[in-house]
Amino acid sequence: MVQPPLPAAAEPAQSLLRKWGGYLGPAISAAILIAVLIELRKLNWGIVQSILPTNPLIWLVFLISYFLSPLGDFMIFRRLWQIPYTGILPLLKKLVGNELLLGYIGEVYFYDWARRHVKMEGSPFGAVKDVAILSALAGNIMTVIMLVLTWPVIGTLGLGVSANVMAASLGLVLTTSAVIMFFRNGLFSLPARDLWFVFGVHCGRIVLKTGLTALTWALILPEAPLSSWLLLSTVRLLLSRLPFLPNKDIAFAGVTALLVGAQVKTGVMIAMLSMLTISMHVAIFIVLLLIDLAARERTA
């Protein structure tokens, strides 16, 4: 695939990544390995085993939700670069890197992988950059849409946040989105049709993730109706994305008590799912490490 020239603003970053490209992949993999070892020390596998869901439907929904992000990325880069089906493996490592290390460190790793494994004219930097920017833009726009749709209910519940703080948070989200759109000609390098496709995949992923999270909660704790869990999942997304909101955990706990009842053990459930997610990160990275070792043995 022939990509258009990169914007001038992206050239210094691209040059820097090319200069240190030989060290990027191994360095990031080593950093992820260290993070995984740290998480392994933290995890109490006896507790993990004791809280494992027994309902296979819960596992199915949880696994679909977990793999939603790398599968969405695979759809995007399969269209942009026709990456092979084995490209899902670096995308899984990208997910683990972003979750256990720093946000967007996974994008740096995937850029390095694509530069070495994907045959294309030009650099993959522009596409990786565009996909990351559109992910943030889709998150901002979906946050605003969800806030508008749920405001009649959220407004009556209250989040323990003043109107000024809420307005400032919403204003920042709208401003950053407007800046991206205003400078889009200098930021993006992909064709418009590809940009719309990427944007649509990101929006669909956010909607599906929110719905699957609510479904998982409803399956684990059926005491409350699915509609309440869906609204709660939306509130959690809003709290995570809106800046300037203080005491987000306290606000979420308060809304949880109002929506599903204080007697429902929501905190225990969320802690259990968080531990299961970290366990998945660790297990996925170990599997990827074994696959890498097996591939090196075959080529040795």
Of the candidate ranges 1-15, 20-34, 63-77, 82-96, the one whose mean pLDDT is the lowest: 1-15
39-72: per-residue pLDDT in tens? Answer: 767 666 666 666 677 889 999 999 999 999 999 9
113-148: per-residue pLDDT in tens? Answer: 888 888 766 667 788 889 989 998 998 888 888 878
Q: Which two tokens stand for residue 285?
A: 């990275």
Query: Which pLDDT does position 185 carry in this prediction?
Result: 78
pLDDT greater at residue 300 or residue 100: 100
Summary mean pLDDT of the chain:
79
When pLDDT is averaged across residues 274-288 and rounded to a whole number, the result is: 86
Other Cβ atoms closer than 10 A to 138? 20
144-169: per-residue pLDDT in tens? Answer: 888 788 777 766 766 655 666 667 77
Query: Which pLDDT does position 1 carry in this prediction?
Result: 45
- Place 197 in a pLDDT band, splitting at 50, 70 and 90: very high
The answer to whether the beta carbons of residues 14 and 125 sit under 8 Å apart is yes
H and E: helices and strands count for the chain: 13, 0
Task: Please check the confidence at residue 297 and state whether its pLDDT lies above 70.
Answer: no
CA-to-CA dists, residue 282 to 49, 60, 105, 288, angstroms: 15, 19, 17, 10
Looking at this protein, which amino acid is placed at residue 295? A
The helix or strand, by DSSP H or E, that contains position 126, with its residue range, turns out to be helix 125-157
Q: How far apart are CA 263 and CA 145, in angstroms?
A: 31
Q: Which residues of 230-265 are buried (b: 16+ CB within 10 A; e: fewer)?
A: bbbbbbbbbbebbeebeebeebbebbbeebbeeebe
Task: Please check the confidence at residue 299 and state whether its pLDDT lies above 80.
Answer: no
pLDDT greater at residue 2 or residue 229: 229
| Three-state DSSP class for residue 82 | coil
pLDDT greater at residue 1 or residue 95: 95
Q: How far apart are CA 230 and CA 213, in angstroms?
A: 8
Of the candidate ranges 15-29, 202-216, 238-252, the one whose mean pLDDT is the lowest: 15-29
Of the candidate ranges 71-80, 86-95, 113-122, the one whose mean pLDDT is the lowest: 113-122
Task: Please check the confidence at residue 198 and state whether its pLDDT lies above 90.
Answer: yes
215 CA to centre of own chain: 18
pLDDT greater at residue 252 or residue 288: 288
239-250: per-residue pLDDT in tens? Answer: 787 776 666 666
Domain locations in the chain? 8-299
Burial class (CB in 10 A: 0-12, 13-18, 19+), 1: middle
Half-sphere exposure of 124 (CA within 13 A, CB side): 25
Q: Which of 49, 74, 196 is nearest to 137 (CA)?
A: 196
Q: How far apart are CA 52 and CA 74, in angstroms?
A: 29
The answer to whether the beta carbons of residues 214 and 273 sit under 8 Å apart is no
- The dihedral region occupied by 256, where left means phi > 0, alpha psi between -120 and 50, and beta the remainder, is alpha
Burial class (CB in 10 A: 0-12, 13-18, 19+), 85: exposed
Other Cβ atoms closer than 10 A to 67? 17
pLDDT greater at residue 15 or residue 223: 223
Residues near 28 by beta carbon (within 8 Å), at least 6 away in sequence: 97, 101, 105, 108, 109, 112
